[in-house]
Amino acid sequence: MYRLRPFQFSVRHLFQQLPRITTVLALLLCLLLLHQKINSLTLHQAPGAGSRPARSATYWVTCPNDRPHVQRLITPLPDARYYYSDEYGWFDSSHFDAGNPAKLIEDVETAVSHSGGTITITQSVRGGLTGHTATYRVSGYLPQEQAIAAALGIYMDWSLRFEAWQGGLPRGLFGPLTPFAIEDLPTQYLGFVEDAQQLNRAELFTCYLDEVETADSPPHLWITEPEQGDPIPEIERLTNETFEPLVPTETGWQHVEWPEALQMDALPSSSLTWMFTGEDTWYLNQEIGSDE
């Protein structure tokens, strides 16, 4: 009986103090919630550029090319399809992940680790009504350190083929201004760089390309002044078959080089690197043919 008294006393004492304990716990919970609320409304430090974990909408970061004490405010990109930069022109947010460059990089690295292999790149259009698939062979002689350069070479080759495929019949009838639009290939290149260098997209723009703003659809037609004696102006379709931005200048449309930090070298096709083997068009997920 003597041994039970301290236990009985502790239980009785606990019940006596229960209201006070509940109050303290409630206050601690309120303080915790308040702290989280304040953190969600204020800016906070974040890891350096290049980290891709989920972050809050607005934060400060030190860009790789800046001095250690210099920080830039990272804000969300516009919630729009098209972005515009005074220096680098237009971007189409629907093309950043065209062909899934992140998966392509992973597939090439896997093929290299297995002494070569076959990979595919697939992209649907018109809400999945039809799509394009290309197949490539990765050489077993390709060294691991060249895997990303090879993936970029494959991605550039596929991007050009995909744009040309979009202009083919009957697809070209429904989107005659779609193939090689001035913003397509530069946006896809930037999407590849984002995945290859493990960059956060908002940080990529803030650190290397400056701020962008919401834009209307990029221009697809260009009207030039008529020559002397010709009353009708000349109308040209604007296209861009390179991976560099195309921007208007006082002397006409000019290509602009990417910042040095975003320039990557692509490994060209050969029997020792990678080779295109074929492409298919499919409708409703059914492949119907192959063009070698």
pLDDT classification of 170: cutoffs 50, 70, 90: confident
* Residues pairing with 124 in the sheet: 131
Residue with the larger pLDDT of the pair 178 and 111: 111
Assess whether the previous peptide bond of 170 is cis (omega < 30° from 0).
yes
How remote is the C-alpha of 277 from its chain's centroid?
A: 26
Q: Does residue 279 surpass a pLDDT of 90?
A: yes
Instruction: Quote the pLDDT of residue 177.
Output: 83
Q: Convert the pLDDT of each residue in 47-94 to its tens digit.
A: 233 334 444 478 898 888 888 889 888 889 999 999 999 999 999 999
d(CA 264, CA 209): 16
Instruction: Quote the pLDDT of residue 234.
Output: 80
* Residues pairing with 213 in the sheet: 84
Mean pLDDT, rounded, for 26-44: 38
How remote is the C-alpha of 204 from its chain's centroid?
A: 10
The Cβ-side half-sphere exposure at 125, using a 13 Å CA radius, reads 19
- Residue of 258, 249, 163 whose CA lies nearest to 209: 258
**End-to-end alpha carbon distance in the chain:** 93
Residue with the larger pLDDT of the pair 19 and 216: 216
Q: Does residue 291 surpass a pLDDT of 50?
A: no
User: What are phi and psi for residue 211, nearest 5 degrees?
Assistant: -75, 150
Please give the model's pTM, rounded to 2 decimal places: 0.76
Q: Convert the pLDDT of each residue in 114-168 to its tens digit.
A: 999 999 999 999 888 899 999 999 999 999 999 999 999 999 999 999 999 999 8
d(CA 9, CA 103): 65
Classify strands 274-283 and 130-138 as parallel, antiparallel or unpaired.
antiparallel
Domain boundaries, the chain: 79-291
Average model confidence (pLDDT) for the chain? 82
* Residue spans of alpha helices (H) in the chain: 4-41, 101-113, 147-166, 171-174, 184-196, 201-204
- Residue of 50, 159, 186, 53 whose CA lies nearest to 100: 159
Q: Convert the pLDDT of each residue in 173-229 to its tens digit.
A: 778 888 999 999 999 999 999 999 999 999 999 999 988 999 999 999 888 777 776
